[in-house]
Chain A
Amino acid sequence: MNAESDEVLLAAVSNGDARAWSSLYSRHAKRVYRFGLAMCGSIPLAEEATQEAFLALLDRSGRYDPSRGPFATWFLGVARNKVLGLLRREGPRITGDVNRATSEIGSADPAGLLAAEMRSAVRGAVLALPEKYREVVVLCELDEMDYAAAAAVLECPVGTVRSRLHRARQMLASRLAPLRPGAESGVQSAEERWQR
């Protein structure tokens, strides 16, 4: 099932094949959504970006050139443009949406709540990064994409991806310093708060 390549599905879509369209959606929607969620920190914006990316695909499927790389990379580039457009239109929106997307809410377990607190701090640090640094972190770290693929999505040289990731990680290191083992605040103080 679902063994056809993206290119085959795309050709079928252009012939009005709804099943092929559904397969393309199943194959790529989650990744696009996760990219949007990590970039925006907002479930409604991530869903809107996903929807907009697929709408754009309906109009632009003919613009995909297989000789320039995999469809998945090209489509993530389309989605990225939608996400950046939404971010420019809506402005930065750091909300608690992603917190609601995870399931430990309601847990009475202090360790679970502590982990949630830490993740919230990390999430905030990622969302606070400038866009051009945030997107390399999202692609290379959260999506575990290799530098070459990330460069294709971002339409920039691989060296730019490397240097932006390096800079982004430096910024994160400084913002996450309180979470380091032995730091005076952050993890240890949070643990102490739970023990009181």
Chain B
Amino acid sequence: MTCAQFEQAVLAVWRGEPAPEGFERHAAQCAACARFCEEQEVVSAALASLALDYVSGPSPAVERNVMLAFADASRGGQVAPSRMDAAKRLRGPVWKWAAVAACLLAGVLLFRYGVPGPEGESSAQAAEAVFYALPGMPLDIDPAARVMRVRLAPSELRRFGFPVDLRRDAVEADVLVGRDGLPRGVRLVSVSE
């Protein structure tokens, strides 16, 4: 048996597979493979020490969301907003990064695909009444704010916490853009089949 064959075999043998012919003899005679076994025993012990890390399960919020999703699917309807809110809370620690991504995405889409929205929708009062604020972007809109209509992938909107059915193809949304050109809020308009 060569050293390469021994190294390949030793892990399987430790896992309870039968030792191939010449295995024991090689183990007794080869100093390099004895050292390899010592190193691998350290690795085994180190990995075993991680057992404590993986005894817990997901938080109850995950189960609640999954059960709500089942209820949604059973009714044949869209994903419930309450589940999406819970999903947002799950992602709290990474939320600020999602906010940056949301702003960048919306900004890019506005420049590439934006079309004017409905008339009269640019006032601060109307905006506050119907738009969801983008994370980290307060809805303190001045009268110069504009509404732009865009089409977004459901998965992107879902990441921002909107109640969108992932099985849909695309979603039309109005994006409220401040005087500085940055998106401040989003509202869903329609869902394409």
- Chain A stretch 73-120: residues in CB contact (< 8 A) with chain B: 90, 93, 95, 97-98, 101-103, 115, 118-119
Specify which of B53, B70, B71 is in contact with A102 (CB 8 Å cutoff): B53
Q: Which 6 A-B pairs have the closest CB atoms?
A: A30-B57, A173-B39, A34-B54, A33-B58, A122-B46, A54-B66
- A194: Cβ under 8 A from any B Cβ: no
15 sampled A-B residue pairs with Cβ under 8 A: A29-B62, A38-B53, A44-B90, A47-B62, A47-B90, A58-B70, A58-B73, A95-B93, A101-B53, A119-B53, A123-B50, A126-B50, A142-B54, A166-B7, A180-B42
Contact A44 B91 (CB under 8 A): yes
Interface residues on B, range: 35 or more
Interface residue? B8 (CB, 8 A): yes
Say whether A51 contacts B40, CB under 8 Å: no
Q: Does B74 lie at the interface of the complex (its beta carbon under 8 Å from any beta carbon of A)? A: yes
Q: Is the CB of B56 within 8 A of A101?
A: yes
> What residue in chain A is nearest B49 (Cβ atoms)?
A119
- B-chain residues with CB within 8 Å of residue A48 when the two chains form the complex: 87, 90-91
Asked if A59 contacts B167 (CB within 8 A), the reply is: yes
- CB atoms of B52 and A102 under 8 A apart: yes
Q: How far is the CA of A97 from the CA of B59 in the complex (A)?
A: 13
The contact of B43 among A54, A55, A123, A169, by CB within 8 Å, is A169
- Chain B min CB distance to A146 (Å): 8
- SS class, residues of chain B in contact with chain A: helix
0/1 interface trace, chain B 40-82, chain A, CB 8 Å (1 if under): 1011101101111110111101110111011101100000000
Once the chains are docked, how many angstroms separate the CA of A147 from the CA of B102?
Answer: 41
Tell me the complex Cα distance, A162–B5, Å.
Answer: 12
The total of chain A residues at the interface (CB under 8 A) is 56
Q: A18 to B73, alpha carbons, bound, how many Å?
A: 11
Q: Could you give, for residues 141-177 of chain A, a 1 whenever the CB lies within 8 Å of some chain B CB and a 0 otherwise? A: 1100011000000000000001101100100110011
Q: Mark A31-60, 1 if CB is under 8 A from B, else 0.
A: 001100110001011111011001100110
What are the residues of chain A within 8 A of B63 when measuring CB–CB?
Answer: 25, 29
B11 within 8 A of A: yes
The verdict on A18 contacting B70 (CB below 8 Å), with A29-B58, A102-B52 known, is yes
Known: A18-B70, A51-B66, A58-B70. A165 touches B11 (CB 8 A): yes
Asked if A16 CB lies within 8 Å of chain B CBs, one says yes
Cβ–Cβ < 8 Å partners of B66 in chain A: 21, 25, 29, 50-51, 54-55
Q: Which residues of A contact B181 (CB under 8 A)?
A: none
**Is the CB of A9 closer than 8 A to any CB of chain B?**
no
What's the Cα separation between A93 and B87 when bound, in Å?
19
**Contact in complex: B58, A47 (CB < 8 Å):** yes
Q: In the bound complex, what is the Cα–Cα distance between A163 and B5 (angstroms)?
A: 11
Interchain CB contact under 8 A, A137 and B49: no
B93→A44 contact, CB < 8 A: yes
Chain A nearest Cβ from B127, distance in angstroms: 30
Given A98-B53, A166-B7, A90 and B90 contact (CB-CB distance below 8 Å): no
Complex CA–CA separation, A162 to B62 (angstroms): 34
Taking CB as reference atom, which chain B residue is nearest A97? B93
Quick check: B53 and A21 within 8 Å, CB to CB? no
* A179 adjacent to chain B (CB < 8 Å): yes
Task: Please indicate the chain B residues that have their CB under 8 angstroms from the CB of A189 in the complex.
Answer: none
**Residue pair A176, B42 in contact (C-beta under 8 Å):** yes
Report the separation of the CA atoms of residues A50 and B63 in the bound assembly, to the nearest whole angstrom. Answer: 9
